[in-house]
């Protein structure tokens, strides 16, 4: 590991000020579960780290006007144990509890997970499916970006040099909403996803009024499944619909091969995950 300056701002404003001053030379440090590994491997060489972990205001999880807002410094342990998330965004809780192991969940933050922009991040498909917005603050001011507009490639986002992720907000899942997160890794725990899927379905009069389906680890970024969502829209839940939609999910998957899996398996198994998730949440109405 190379030497670096260590800065500890007391507020988001101060952090942004520091980043604006240092530009590319500095990196924000949140939980460090990705950044420290990269530092150790010499994959990044920041001259300064701006440690955000003492900014308490960024750790809050709160509700406001039909939405839930998660401070970017909330850890996945915070998210996994939040009653608000459990009630209004439980698919994110399911994702949070599948990330790494408890030690990693204790350190890793949702903002860091998003900024790292891995297509295999287990925290990201749930926020796609929840229709989340990401609030960024920079020297120029504040802007709100829809989650699917935020990521531009593996490790790439629209974040500007001086911008900090402040908050992730999403509309509350209501009683008529159902959803799930499912992943498959190389072992039962402490595993990076080979493929993951999150979905939220708005049900009215026994029909799917709206569906949001997001896939992880099968494209350069987490992706939505527009064809599958259209296919589901207005349809009544049935076994055959789920099978049809699962095939569609597989067809929308664009996986590549790496040390963890093959493209064929990923494209195939993501349909299985989707089907299982759907059968779980609709077990009461399916035979």
- Contact residues for other proteins (CB under 8 A)? 1-3, 41, 184, 186-192, 259-262, 264-265, 268-269, 272, 276
Which residue lies nearer to other proteins by CB, 4 or 90?
4
Nearest approach in angstroms of CB 237 to other proteins is: 19
Tokens of 224: 């939505």
Nearest approach in angstroms of CB 35 to other proteins is: 15
Q: Within 13 Å of residue 56, how many CA atoms lie on the same side as its CB?
A: 0
Nearest approach in angstroms of CB 242 to other proteins is: 13
Which residue lies nearer to other proteins by CB, 95 or 271?
271
Nearest approach in angstroms of CB 281 to other proteins is: 17
As separate numbers, helices (DSSP H) first and strands (DSSP E) second, the chain gives 12, 14
Can you tell me the distance from the alpha carbon of 38 to that of 33, in angstroms, rounded to the nearest whole number? 9
Which residue lies nearer to other proteins by CB, 34 or 163?
34
Which residue lies nearer to other proteins by CB, 15 or 39?
39
Can you tell me the distance from the alpha carbon of 30 to that of 11, in angstroms, rounded to the nearest whole number? 13
Nearest approach in angstroms of CB 189 to other proteins is: 4
Which residue is it, tokens 């491997």? Answer: 41
Which residue is it, tokens 């698919």? Answer: 91
Nearest residue to 95 via CA among 60, 144, 59, 130: 130
Q: Which spans in the chain are helix H? A: 12-22, 35-40, 76-80, 83-88, 90-96, 102-107, 110-116, 124-129, 147-150, 226-232, 239-252, 263-281
Which residue lies nearer to other proteins by CB, 190 or 285?
190
Which residue lies nearer to other proteins by CB, 88 or 274?
274
Strand 133-138 and strand 141-146: the pairing is: antiparallel
Which residue lies nearer to other proteins by CB, 45 or 142?
45
Burial (CB < 10 A; 0-12, 13-18, 19+), residue 236, is exposed
Nearest approach in angstroms of CB 190 to other proteins is: 6
Nearest approach in angstroms of CB 84 to other proteins is: 28
């Amino acid at each position: 590991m190379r030497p670096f300056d260590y800065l500890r701002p007391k507020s988001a404003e101060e952090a942004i000020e520091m980043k604006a001053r240092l530009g590319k030379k500095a990196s924000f440090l949140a939980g460090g579960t990705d950044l420290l590994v990269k530092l150790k491997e010499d994959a990044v060489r920041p001259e300064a780290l701006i440690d955000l972990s003492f900014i308490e205001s960024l750790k809050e999880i709160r509700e406001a006007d039909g939405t839930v807002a998660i401070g970017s410094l909330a850890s996945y342990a915070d998210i996994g144990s939040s009653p608000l998330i459990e009630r209004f965004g439980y698919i994110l809780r399911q994702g949070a509890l599948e990330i790494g192991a408890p030690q990693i969940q204790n350190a890793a933050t949702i903002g860091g997970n998003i900024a790292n922009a891995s297509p295999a991040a287990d925290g990201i498909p749930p926020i796609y499916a929840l229709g989340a917005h990401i609030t960024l603050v920079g020297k120029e001011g504040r802007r709100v970006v829809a989650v699917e507009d935020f990521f531009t490639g593996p490790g790439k986002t629209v974040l500007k040099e001086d911008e900090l992720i402040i908050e992730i907000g999403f509309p509350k899942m209501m009683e008529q909403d159902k959803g799930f997160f499912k992943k498959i890794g190389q072992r039962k725990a402490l595993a990076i996803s080979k493929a993951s899927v999150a979905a939220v379905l708005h049900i009215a009069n026994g029909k799917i009024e709206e569906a949001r389906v997001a896939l992880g680890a099968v494209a350069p970024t987490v992706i939505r499944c527009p064809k599958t969502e259209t296919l589901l829209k207005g349809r009544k839940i049935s076994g055959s619909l789920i099978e049809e939609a699962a095939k569609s999910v597989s067809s929308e998957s664009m996986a590549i091969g790496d040390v963890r899996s093959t493209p064929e398996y990923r494209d195939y198994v993501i349909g299985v995950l989707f089907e299982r998730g759907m059968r779980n949440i609709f077990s009461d109405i399916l035979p």
